[in-house]
Every structure is written in structure tokens, then in C-alpha cells.
Structure 1
């Protein structure tokens, strides 16, 4: 199924250049600094139960497409939220009753993924990991299922073995500030050489729109011994948890706010807004102002403790109200929206934008912002870098548009390489391979058009694959410990 020249330019001379560039990066280690896999997989190191639990249910790209064609989540045996105790895991601890039936639904509708990045990722997984080269369909569904199920029972397909087989250098998770990080601690103490790092994601305790916000703030106080009913105690508690995450290997924070709005309020005004949200008396504008202030507070803390700050705004989360009521978050119903960065970030940048010791990585779901706002901002402010195409644009065409829109203004060295941002563990090498091929193709065109010499393109490809991501996420120290 996989053509050796996939994603390379059609022009033969340019394609030959892309091949040569790709050969220098194809086998480099995978650096995965942002994602949503689970540290517990590597603690327990147990076989994945079946093909559906591993490949279909965790991947919102898959069940989103199936749902759009009238296939219900009930048919895919994704349980309602009340039966799904593991946050962020559609299957959770509820076993699939008839995984073969669910697999047949997926296989019979595999044609829906034609032309999508999911098709590229899945074909890679099927061929490279399971040796399956006949296209998935209703006809081949049982053959696929039996082959995958059989291999999942072998030692080569245990989580740690797959991590090593994929050539992963480091893998970061995304974790609530209320998480004990016991699984991360267990990985560190196990003697296994794999690097699984936590990432501080404080949304549950800094976004008043998150259900249970007040209870979460109280739990933060109990966890840290700080008085989180006061503004100063609340900030200290967050700083304490950041330090704990850092002690467990974290190098970054992550912020999934609806917008990129920031604020720089006086202490008295910030304390007043905090009181409103904590009392449950805040309206939508108060909630947004509080989130805006907290982005600036997080930037201040990052300048103090050195954690890299990632901002992922611009998603209208859980757009499908009925789906959200029954199944909860992360059910494929998040929709991109226009996002302002120039005005939204100015309060934060007025205070910290000229600090070279601060590192903020900006992502967007609004592609129109790349050339108009983000590239000029990152091409000027020392603290800013551009994250790779994210979520809906994590695709060959999205990657090409990203390079075309940002390179002339921000260059390559104000970007941070690639991250896979996935819950689907087996798709990690596939996603990185797409990124490497896409970058090789882009650089090859520059060489063919005499904008770069080939030796520069080869060096850039190495930087885009491993060098820039290690530097941006401060992972050189992690690498040196191996």
C-alpha cells in the first residue's frame, strides 16, 4: 500500500532531491514533546486488549469521521461518560463487548478516509507494524482483525517494546495539576530506560468554565497545603505544583484556553476577579478576563521556573451539546474558530515579550493567522516560537501551507519541529514520517528553485526533525541522561 515516494514532488528531479534529504532523517529518533498517551501503559506494560480498543476508540479522527456519516458512538461501543472513569480515554475501563463487530463497522467504512491524513497514518501502521499490505475493507476485515489480535498477544507489541521499536527518545504526556503523577514516578523507579515526561496542563484549575472549577481549586489547596481561597495562596499553590511536575521531569506547560487573550491587571483587580470566579458569580466576560490574567501569570512563573509555555487556543470545545451531555469531552466535536493574536497577546508581551529567558510556543487552528500575525510576532519577539500545524491541519497540505506562510517572515529557526499531539499510540511513528516527508519535499523544492543549497537543506532537515524540538522544549538534558 505504501509507495516509497509518497508525499514527494511529482517532478522527477525535485523528487530525487527529496529522497536524498529524507534518507538523512528517516531513521532519526522520535522526539514527542506534546501528546496525550498514558504513562500507565508503560508502568503496567500489559498487552493492549484488542484492535478496537487500541486503534479505533482512542482516535477521535476516526470516530469523528464515522459519526459524520451517521454511525453512532453506541455502535462503536464508546460508553457514556458515566461508565467511562478514565479521563481522556473513550473506551476507558469498560471492555468492548463485541470488538470484532465494531471492527467490521470500521473496515466497511474505511473508504471514508480516502484523501485524509488518517488514511496515511493507518496504512503505515497496518503495513509497517502488522505486515498487512492488502487494503482494509469489509472483505479483509477478519484477516486484519485476526492478524492484529494475534500480534498484540506477543511480547513485541507490549507498550515498552513498541516504544523502543519506534525509536522514541522522549514521550511527553499531558496532565492535570491535581494528578499525583504516580504512574510517572513508577516509570522512573522501574529501571526501564524509556523517558515518559509529564506536562503541566492547569486548565482544570485556571478556567472557570471547566465543570467543577471551584472544587478543583479547593483540591489544589489540600494538595499543596496553601490557602487557595486567597489570590496569593492560589498562585503559590500553582507554583508548588509546577515545581513538583518539574521534579518529575516536566519541561513544559500547556494551556488550552478558548482564546489567546491575555491581561496584566493590578493585584487588587486580579484578586477581585479571582473572588468573583471562585464564588461562582462571574459572567462570561469575567471568566475570560480571569483566563487572560492567568496566561500572564503562567508566563511569569515560566520565567521563574524555566518551564516552556505552550498556548493552544482557538477551539470551540464540545460543539455538539447532545453528544457532550451523554459522552463528555473529546468526542470529536471540537470546531476551530478565528483567533486574534496581535491584540490578544499584547498585555503579556508588553510585560515579558523581550525576555529571552522566556519561551512561549504558539499554536493555532486559524490558518489565516500564520502569515498575518504569528509569523511576524515570532519573527520579532525573543520569547515566541511557532508550534507546528495542529489538529485539523496536522496533514501534508497543512504542513506545506504552514511552511509557505511562515518561512519568509519567521524563518525556520523560530519554529519548533514537529509534535504528534495524539492519543493513538501506534500512529506516532506514522505521523512523524509524514512530517519528515513533507519537510523533505518542501526543502527539495527550495533547492530545485535555487533558494537553498542542498547541503543547507540536509542540515535544515536534521534541525526540523530533532534539533529544534530538543532545543525548544529543553530536552537536551533529558537526552544527555540516556
Structure 2
């Protein structure tokens, strides 16, 4: 019997152990999609206690606490920080076999050297020990990134953001690259005319333009897209239920814009046409600049209307959706490819029923121009766990080239989430190691070790054109 979370956690064979410890473990991290707050990095803040860094904004933990019968006041409410932590600690023993159980204890070990099993009895000790460390300079947010050997972080930013915090980080010479990602979802969301026009007022201010016509609207957005590029941005991102790929004409889109700009609500067909047009326009701009475009697909958001009204979005009331994905993705990508305007693209799905769909879809548009030009992204959100990662890796292996995969990301709002990369790397090494020992792969440790290192770091560095941070560790010597 192995000990819980020992050095060989998740590694079931000697070959898996070698692959992880000799090749994967020391590779740097590129976190090319997350939701870390740039202002906290710019100001290099220290969190005052473990609750602030661990529970604020973490809807994964909130969902578990609610399921365990914890009152909302201890999740998103105004209860004292230690009382919130105590409720979380009392919940942890009930998260057995949920990834939160692994992540919680990995984070305690990797950041704080705490090996206690968290529960109601150990809560006070763990909280005090971690909180004391968090208040020291060694635990400022920049040092938390350094501690995990992070080289690049891509935040998620709205077009109207002035990116002042990214500029401050750059000006101060922080060696970890903190780069923006262009996420224009609000800029194309015409579900509500009043909300859309309110957003356009902010876009006018950000772009220093007046938006009367559709051309004005595009000019303002292009202004922001260009500005993001000057700030080092080379990645866009969309969080959508599904890709929009309706047929439309320029005249139709102009009329639709004029209608919604005048405050009138759109018909469903008009809504879809407008979103389809904007999605294609953004994609062409990305192609022109050589950016990577990302599409996070399949979330059914804000299902609890009562709690949405009370707490707002991103508070833990979302689920996997059962949207039809294949035809619209194919139509959208084909439209761009036909015009030779298809940028490097990463597709993420949230419904495991679509794993093989996504793994085969990418092969339709990998044209030999770039290694892994169209990517099937890592297990995302509800699939960001052991079973979800394995299924994604297997689907990609069976129907594409796992060796060209750009690897893991955190998709997190927490500075303590970077052990998720370790979690992924252990799972990856275990898959390879088991198949070597079963005779399904050759016992070529150096080659498989190189593939592992590529997936952990090198592929992403090359794919995103961040070669200036491509400082791969020397492959460990094999005895």
C-alpha cells in the first residue's frame, strides 16, 4: 500500500516514476489561460490569511460546501475568514474522490510544506501555519509564481480594459511574463439590448470614439484589438455555449446592429446572425496578427436564477451543457480555412460525450503548415480532474498526435492552483509508463521523456511563439 500523496502519487509503475521525476517534474510552467487578477500581480500583494487566497472567488469549493449543508454566508457571505475556513476544513473529508481532495492537500504541501490531512480537527493548526507564511515577503503573489517555476501567465481580459496592471508589471521588470488575452464575449453579446448599449458606452470611452454605426463599432473594437497587440497580447479567448456559424450578409448585420443600437430587442435569428458575424470578424483579426484563438465550449451557465440575481455570475451555478457542436464548429473553421484566414486554434469542450468529436474535428483543419495548428484543449472546468484528463488524453492519442499537444493550464482565479500542472504531469507520465511496462510502447525512456517534456512545456512555448521564454531543462541522464 502506498502512502497518500507520497513522492510517487498517481505513478503506478517504475517507468512512470522515472518519467515524472527525471523528465516532467522540473519543467517550467506556461499557464496560457487563467483568470488571475492582474492588479494583484502588479501590486505584488500578500494575502492576509488562507481564506483570502483559497476561498475568495473559488466556486469549486463553494459548490462542495453548499452540497455539504454549509450556509451561503460561509461561502460568499460576510462571515469571518477563519469561520469560513473552518467550514471548508470540515467539508474536506467529505470530498473524497472529488479532485478537490487531491488539490487541497497538494497545495498545502507544495506551497506551505503542510502534510496534515485537513479536517475540522486540524483546521486551526493549518490555518495559523499557512497564514503566518502568507504574511511574509516570500509569499507575495509574485513569489508564489516563482515558487511554482511559472514562466508565462495569460490572464483573461475584456477589450475595454486599459491593461494598466500589465504595463506596471512589465515596467518593473518582473521576470514572469504576465500577458493579456483578448476576450470579447461581452462585446458581441446582444441578448439584451440595454446591456449591450451600456457596454458600448464603455467601449466608446476606452477607444475614444463615438459609436453610431456598425462601422464605428468595428473601428472601436479594432482599436482595442490593436492596443492589446501593443501590450504583448497574442491570444484571444471565447467562452461560448457553442460556435455560431449562421449564414449572413453585410447588409443584414448592419441592419441588426442599427436595431439593437436603437434599443430594440433582436429576434433569435438576428441574434445568431450577429454573433456569427462578430465571431468571424474577430477570428480574421486574430489570423492577421498571428494570434492563437481559443474557444471554450459547452457550459450551461447561471442555471439558478434566484442565486444569479442574488450573487451574479461565476459563483457556482453552472453545469455541463448538451449543445450540438460538430456542424457549427466545422462550418466556422471551414469558412475561415476556405479564405486562408484560419489562425492557430484551440478547442475546449465541457461535455465528455464530445471528446471524440473534438479529437477528430482538429484533424480536419491541420494542414501541415504548423505543428498541431488546431488543438484539442486540455480537460476544462468540470473535466479538469483525473478521469476527465485521462479521457481527453486518450481521445487525442487515439485520433490525433498527443506528442504535439500544448498541455495543461489552470483556468483558475487562485494563485495556489499551479499544482494542477503537477497533477496533469503525473497522470501523463503514468499513462506512458504503464504502456511501456505492458509492452505497448518501446522502452525508449529518452524519446518518451522528450515527448513528455514537450507536452509539459516546449510545445506551448513554440506554439504561442514565446521562444524567448523557451528555456527547457536539460533532459535528465538515463542510467
Q: What TM-score do the two structures reach when normalised by structure 1? A: 0.90
Give the match's secondary structure for 1:311: strand
Q: Distance in 2 between matches of 1:439 and 1:418?
A: 10
User: For structure 1, which runs of at least 5 residues remain unmatched after alignment?
Assistant: 10-14, 80-95
The 8 Å contact of residues 260 and 314 in structure 1, kept in 2 or not, is answered as: no
Matched, 1:164 2:153: no
Q: Does 1:103 align with 2:52?
A: no
Aligned to 2:464: 473
Alignment length (residue pairs):
456
In 2, Cα distance between the equivalents of 1:124 and 1:215? Answer: 43
Match runs of 1:365-380 below 5 Å? 365-371=350-356, 373-380=357-364
Distance 1:141 1:407 in 2: 42
| Matches of 2:329 and 2:257, distance apart in 1 | 20
Check if 1:5 corresponds to 2:4.
no
- State the partner residue of 1:432: 421
> Which residue of 312, 315, 326 corresponds with 1:342?
326
Shift in Å, 1:212: 2.2
SS of 1:423's equivalent in the other structure is: coil
Q: Distance in 2 between matches of 1:408 and 1:75?
A: 44
Matched residue, 1:230: 213
1:329 Cα offset (Å): 0.8
Q: State the match for 2:257 in structure 1.
A: 274
What is the SS of the residue equivalent to 2:219? helix
Higher mean displacement: 384-393 or 470-479: 470-479
Q: Which residue of 1 aligns with 2:17?
A: 19
Q: Residue 176 of structure 2: which of 194, 212, 225 is its match? A: 194
Distance in 2 separating the partners of 1:391 and 1:41: 23
Determine if the alignment matches structure 1 residue 326 to structure 2 residue 310: yes
1:252 correspondence with 2:235: yes
> d(CA) in 1 for partners of 2:212 and 2:51?
44
Partner SS, residue 297 of structure 2: coil
Q: Distance in 2 between matches of 1:116 and 1:377?
A: 30
1:206 equivalenced with 2:197 (yes/no): no
Q: CA deviation at 1:397?
A: 1.1
For the 8 Å contact 1:319–1:334, the answer to whether it is kept is yes
For residue 160 of structure 1, report the CA deviation from its aligned partner. Answer: 1.3
**Equivalent residue, structure 2, for 1:89:** none
Q: 8 Å contact 1:25–1:436 — kept in the other structure?
A: yes
- Contact 1:107–1:136, Cα closer than 8 Å, also in 2: yes
The CA distance in 1 between the partners of 2:110 and 2:404, in whole Å, is: 33
| 3-state DSSP of counterpart to 2:407 | coil
Q: CA deviation at 1:198?
A: 0.8
State the distance in 2 between where 1:380 and 1:387 align. Answer: 16
Q: Given the superposition, is the C-alpha separation of residues 231 and 477 from structure 1 closer, same or farther in structure 2, using an over 3 Å criterion?
A: farther
Give the C-alpha shift of residue 356 in structure 1. Answer: 7.9
Q: Counterparts of 1:357 and 1:109 in 2: how far apart (Å)?
A: 46
Q: Distance in 2 between matches of 1:233 and 1:479?
A: 40
Query: Distance in 2 between the 1:192 and 1:471 partners?
Result: 22
Q: CA deviation at 1:323?
A: 0.8
Alignment deviations for residues 179-204 of structure 1 (CA, whole Å, 9 cap, x no partner): 11111111111132221111111111
Q: Which moved more, 1:210-219 or 1:65-74?
A: 210-219
Mapped partners of 1:270, 1:308: distance in 2: 26
Q: Contact conserved, 2:333 with 2:342, CA < 8 A, in 1?
A: no
* 2: CA distance, partners of 1:212 / 1:224: 18
Aligned to 2:430: 441
- Indicate which of 450, 459, 465 corresponds to 1:459: 450
Q: 1:351 aligns with which of 335, 349, 352?
A: 335
Equivalent pair of 1:308/1:361 in contact (CA under 8 Å): yes
Residue pair 2:152, 2:177 contacting (<8 A) in 1 also: yes
Cα separation, 1, equivalents of 2:351 and 2:39: 34
Query: In the alignment, is residue 305 of structure 1 matched against residue 289 of structure 2?
Result: yes
Q: Equivalent residue for 1:59?
A: 58
Shift in Å, 1:16: 0.7
Report how far residue 110 of structure 1 moved. Answer: 1.2
Asked whether the 8 Å contact 1:264–1:347 carries over to 2, the reply is no
Secondary structure (helix, strand or coil) at the match of 1:353 reads: helix
Deviates most, 191-200 or 441-450: 441-450
SS of 1:171's partner is strand
Cα 1:152–1:2, aligned 2, differ >3 Å: closer, same or farther? Answer: same
- CA gap of 1:333–1:5, structure 2 versus 1, over 3 A, is same
Question: 1:410 is matched with which residue?
Answer: 400
- Aligned residue number for residue 146 of structure 1: 128
- Asked if the contact 2:461/2:469 (under 8 Å) is kept, the reply is no
Could you tell me which runs of 5 or more consecutive residues in structure 2 were left unpaired when the two chains were aligned: 367-372, 472-479
Indicate yes or no: 2:117 matched with 1:118: no
Aligned counterparts, 1:380-391, within 5 A: 380-382=364-366, 384-391=374-381
